[in-house]
Structure 1
């Protein structure tokens, strides 16, 4: 555990060094060695990213394997008809005995950061002999959140190395966001473009960390059928129609009309 903490500290220091270098490069005049320095910076960023992605704990590997197996199952059973793939995933993870929930984030406009909202899956699991609780973030559409329309070659290589499905801790995700946002800023500048507010570090962090609240999908009724991939059509039951009562007392015409209105639509 101490070695892992030391490794994370060294990675954070390297990320900060890369960020400082990018800032100094953007304010310094162009020179003959700037392209070589940028190439070195890109390689350093790629190495740091690969090291972060390789550092997978047992808990992360366990949840990732569950998610990948469920993803293959969903494809076989043609469950794309369900209303929400994330909700479907939460229900299936619960069936596997995991403490999973649907997590929503939302944030207001502040300091140039536009308002927005996001959704992902959260899994709480114990790790190690002492059973320490660990909160894992599961994002089934992770890579696309960092893709750019006109990236540089180096930034494209970084995004392509990202997993489509992310499973990891907040600390791990935070380091990836910091590194990718710095690389994106450099990519924009090399293309002569301004960094849009929705590509800043603060906006990207808000997607997973800001205004978080949970939704517990129902395990009965329609949601349970969606989790099993069943079609809701054909499950509808028509309302019960009560038989008309005969007017044996010879009531008035108005009373007979009311007696005819006996269909139970509830």
Structure 2
């Protein structure tokens, strides 16, 4: 586990040096000078192999954390999908994701979970376009009930990282992502870091401009509302990863039910 922390920190060069932030601001999708458009094949292969190893280790640890809770939540999501969840005045043939989220929250609460439909909102700035994003939050407790843990549910997780024109290596990374995410914000943040950096690399190879909505700092704002929640004390390696940024973002939550928090075992 310590190896994963070291690999993530070393790979992204986050050693507290301000020059790293400046480099990201200068080259994170805004202008390619063309000097390194043709990377050395060995270095290129090493980069993509490292990205894949990082992602696989994060996903492996993610899958092992609260696996029983994730299985139960996944089962309830599938039940919601099978129901007549769309309540729009003119519903589409396959329903809408907003109605599905509300349907999942309602069903979770009926099953005794403390579930919330949340919306992160951020203002338009020179750096980013304004916007909002919905997701689901479930509050769980440790066995001792001394700590509450926020679990995020993103029903369109894999779709968040889809890009039309990408290299095969990036497509391979996204194909390994689960259809939807059910886990702690720290795991989500770690995955976002790997995929956004890979997207930047892929688009640079394709000589395609990277829009601000593809940047890591923008993607993080989508789930910013839960960035201040406490995480489980038994995952020291993931707790040391950078937390989700919540600058320029705000959150509003619809508390559908005040059910007791589920216990993580």
Distance 1:33 1:165 in 2: 34
8 Å contact kept, 1:91–1:217: yes
**Is 1:45 paired with 2:51?**
yes
CA deviation string 1:172-214 (max 9, x = no partner): 1111111111100001110011111111111111111131221
Corresponding residue SS for 1:38: helix
Q: Number of paired residues?
A: 211
CA deviation after TM superposition for structure 1 residue 109, in Å:
1.7
Match of 2:5 among 6, 9, 23: 9
User: Normalising by the residue count of structure 1, what TM-score does the alignment of the two structures yield?
Assistant: 0.70
Higher helix share: 1
Corresponding residue SS for 2:62: coil
User: Normalising by the residue count of structure 2, what TM-score does the alignment of the two structures yield?
Assistant: 0.71
CA deviation after TM superposition for structure 1 residue 216, in Å:
1.9
Structure 1: which 5+ residue stretches go unaligned? 220-266
Shift in CA distance, 31/177, structure 1 to aligned 2, threshold 3 Å? closer
Please list every run of at least 4 consecutive aligned residues from structure 1 whose deviation after the TM superposition is greater than 4 angstroms. 20-23, 26-33, 128-131
Determine the structure 1 residue equivalent to 2:242: none
Determine the structure 1 residue equivalent to 2:204: 189
Determine the structure 2 residue equivalent to 1:244: none
Matches within 5 A, 1:1-266: 4=1, 6-7=2-3, 9-17=5-13, 29-30=35-36, 34-56=40-62, 60-76=66-82, 78-83=83-88, 84-129=99-144, 131-209=146-224, 210-217=249-256
CA deviation after TM superposition for structure 1 residue 63, in Å:
3.3
CA deviation after TM superposition for structure 1 residue 111, in Å:
4.1
Distance 1:75 1:28 in 2: 47
8 Å contact kept, 1:86–1:121: yes
8 Å contact kept, 1:100–1:121: yes
Determine the structure 2 residue equivalent to 1:247: none
Distance 1:33 1:188 in 2: 13
Q: Aligned-residue CA RMSD in angstroms?
A: 2.8
Shift in CA distance, 28/196, structure 1 to aligned 2, threshold 3 Å? closer
Structure 2: which 5+ residue stretches go unaligned? 15-19, 89-98, 225-248, 259-265
Corresponding residue SS for 1:110: coil
